[in-house]
Each structure stands twice: as C-alpha cells, then as structure tokens.
Amino acid sequence: MVTVAPTPASASPASAHPATGPRTGTVRHLGPNWYASVMGTAIIANAGAALPVDVPGLRSAVTAVWALSLVMLAVLLAARAAHLVHHRDQARAHLADPAMAPFYGCLAMALLAVGAGAVLVGSDWIGTTAAIALDTVLFTAGTAIGLAAAVTIPYLMVVRHRVQPGSASPVWLLPVVAPMVSAAVGPLLVPHLPAGQAQQTLLYGCFAMFGLSLLATLVMLPLIFARLVNGGPLPLALTPTLFLVLGPLGQSTTAANKFADVARGVLPAPYDQGFAVFAVLFGVPVMGFALMWLALATALVLRARRRGMGFAMTWWAFTFPVGTCVTGAEGLGKHTGLAAYDWLAVALFVVLVSAWLVALVQTLRGVASGKLLAAPR
C-alpha cells in the first residue's frame, strides 16, 4: 500500500525520496511496493459494488476501474518477472532489506483484490463463469503467497534483518494483513462450491486466517504506537503509512460481515446465527477504533503537509486501507440496519476516490519523468 518503511539502517526505496536521476525504461528498481497501486485501484471497484446508494452509472464506472486494475496487475506481473530474471541481485536485496521485504505481502493482496472484483463487478463484462474461474485462480495464488509472506517475512526479521530499536513501522503489518484479505474475499466463492464439506471447509479456513491475521496485528499495533509516542512523528515521506493501520481494522470488520452473509445454509445451527451476532459485536467496536485512528493519522498527515510533505508512492496508503473501511461500514449498515453506517460508507468512498485520483495522476507523472523508477539515493 506504500513504498517505504522507516528503517534508518537500511536503504530507502527510490519512490519515497527525490531521485538522483531518471532511469526511464528500467525495471531494476521496481520493487514489490508497486503492487500497492493495483490494490488501491481494485478496492475502488470492490467498495463501490456494495455502496448503499443508487447513483446512475456508478456500477459501470467501478467496473471500468476494476478492468484497469486487471490490466495494471498483468503489466506489473510481467515487469516484476523481468526484474526477477534480469536483476536477481536486486531481488535478493529487496528480501534482505527490512524496509522493502514487508511489501511482498502487497503481491498477495493485489491478486486477492482483483480476483474479488471479478466476482463483484467484473462478471458484468466477462460473464459469471469466467469471473469465478479468474477469482479462483487469483484467490488460490494470493492466499498461498499471503500465508507464505506472513511466516517468511517475520522469520527474516528475526534471523536476518537488523531492525533498530524503536523503528517499528506500520509497514510491518503488510505481510500479516494479507491473510485477512483472503478471509474477507474467500466467502465470495463459498456459494459456488458443492454444498457440505467443501463450503464449510472454505468458510472455516477463512475464519482461521481471520484469527491468524487479527492476533498478529494485535501483537504489532502496540509496537507501532509506542514508536510514535517515544520517537515522535514519522519522517514526512513516511507519514502516510499511518493509514496502513486502517487495513486490518477495516478488513477484519469486512470479513466478519462476509462470514455472516454466507454462514446461513452452510453451517449448522447455532453457528450460522453466531456469525451474524459476531459480525455486529466485533465490527462495531473495531470500526469505532478505526475512526479514531483515521482522525489521528489525518491530523499527523496534515501536520506533515504543512511542513513540506510532497508526493511519494507512500500516498497509495490513502487508498486500500480506506477502502477496507468502506466495505466494513457497508457490512455493518447491512447487519445493523443503521443508516449512520450507510452514510459513513458513502463519505469514506468519496475520500477513497479522491485519494485514488491524486495518487494515480501523480504516479503517472512520476513514471513519465522516470523519477519513480530511478535508483535510490
């Protein structure tokens, strides 16, 4: 969702700092952080699909955005494949760099977000059968990569990375949030599986990934807040990464509501009703904390902006995490019947689209000038 992590002892990716010189056309410095742009684009479609308002042309618009995210994913996968083939030393350096390694979670989330969009809106253009097939492939690959990242990246942090005391970063959440995205989008495939064991296995599997990601997030959040309290505000270019905390909050609320949507008819009583109760009892307080963090992160971003914070790829952190709060609010509006959550979803969607447009335009300019693909300082 962003491009850099605040690790003083490691080299910062090029996209967070002014480049020393444009190197247009090279993929040598194209890191896994670029998948954040795919995630931030796909979430527009996923959030807009269930928006509780009837806006003429909205579904066609978000379907077009989903198609754009699919093209972006294909282009980026090809570019990253070329990077791995021709620049293996740089690929190894990314894994060894505690500032870049967590972004391998973005690959998983990009696959999952685009796959979910295929079922939610893409079926309008490519048909239900093709949409389900595409989502099945992307969900399987994204889940496998996400689970691998959730174990491998923390392992590397322990045994290989040299993380300085007090350098905890919101970027650390990226690998462990990926399974939560699987948990949130997996229920879309449940109705398309054979009834009985297949449906129940997928639903319980998603619930297990929900727990995996939630508990890992609860371990890391105190470290992140302690870093802010003890170390002060993040560097200007890194301040947008504070929005990453919204990701596990909004996505877990979304997942809880998606479980409730499909549990009836799949699970025996009382578990089918239990998920409906859980969606509200879990989602309401978590969304409350998400709004508090949104206010805190916004205040710190405005502070950084007044102090000269310019555009960096970290601005993509304003997209996907906010989008998960939109889908979380949509789910709560459905299961509580409260119009307040519907209006919250609409308001956050407006913020999401505005942030996406700014990030997209600025990224295109950076790519055209070569600055975002240049070597780091």
pLDDT over 90 (residue 3): no
How far apart (Å, rounded) are the C-alpha atoms in residues 359 and 317?
9
Domain extent listing, the chain: 27-369
How far apart (Å, rounded) are the C-alpha atoms in residues 46 and 62?
8
How far apart (Å, rounded) are the C-alpha atoms in residues 22 and 80?
19
15 — pLDDT class (breaks 50, 70, 90): very low
In this prediction, residue 376 carries a pLDDT of 63
In this prediction, residue 377 carries a pLDDT of 60
Which CATH superfamily groups domain 27-369?
Voltage-dependent anion channel (1.50.10.150)
Instruction: For residue range 169-182, list pLDDT tens digits in order.
Output: 899 999 999 999 99
SS (H, E, C) the chain: CCCCCCCCCCCCCHHHCCCCCCCCCCCCCCCHHHHHHHHHHHHHHHHHHCCCCCCCCHHHHHHHHHHHHHHHHHHHHHHHHHHHHHCHHHHHHHHHCCCCHHHHHHHHHHHHHHHHHHHHHHHHHHCHHHHHHHHHHHHHHHHHHHHHHHHHHHHHHHHCCCCCCCCCCHHHHHHHHHHHHHHHHHHHHHHHCCCCHHHHHHHHHHHHHHHHHHHHHHHHHHHHHHHHHHHCCCCHHHHHHHHHHHHHHHHHHHHHHHHHHHHECCECCCHHHHHHHHHHHHHHHHHHHHHHHHHHHHHHHHHHHHCCCCCCHHHHHHCHHHHHHHHHHHHHHHHHCCHHHHHHHHHHHHHHHHHHHHHHHHHHHHHHHCHHHCCCC
Q: Which residue has the higher pLDDT, 10 or 253?
A: 253
Q: What is the mean pLDDT of the chain?
A: 89
For residues 308-333, average pLDDT:
95
Instruction: For residue range 46-78, list pLDDT tens digits in order.
Output: 999 999 998 999 999 999 999 999 999 999 999
- Are the beta carbons of 107 and 66 closer than 8 angstroms? no
How far apart (Å, rounded) are the C-alpha atoms in residues 338 and 320?
24
Point out the least confidently predicted range of 163-167, 261-265, 328-332.
163-167
For residues 335-347, average pLDDT:
97
Point out the least confidently predicted range of 208-212, 240-244, 268-272, 338-342.
268-272
Task: Please tell me whether the peptide bond between 321 and the residue prior to it is cis, using omega within 30 degrees of 0.
Answer: no
- Are the beta carbons of 322 and 242 closer than 8 angstroms? no
In this prediction, residue 290 carries a pLDDT of 97
- Are the beta carbons of 36 and 72 closer than 8 angstroms? no
Total-model pTM = 0.90
For residues 340-349, average pLDDT:
97
Instruction: For residue range 250-295, list pLDDT tens digits in order.
Output: 999 999 999 999 999 899 989 989 999 999 999 999 999 999 999 9
41 — pLDDT class (breaks 50, 70, 90): very high
For the purposes of burial, counting CB atoms within 10 Å of the CB of 36, is it exposed (0-12), middle (13-18) or buried (19 or more)? Answer: buried
Q: Which amino acid is at 129?
A: T
In this prediction, residue 31 carries a pLDDT of 82
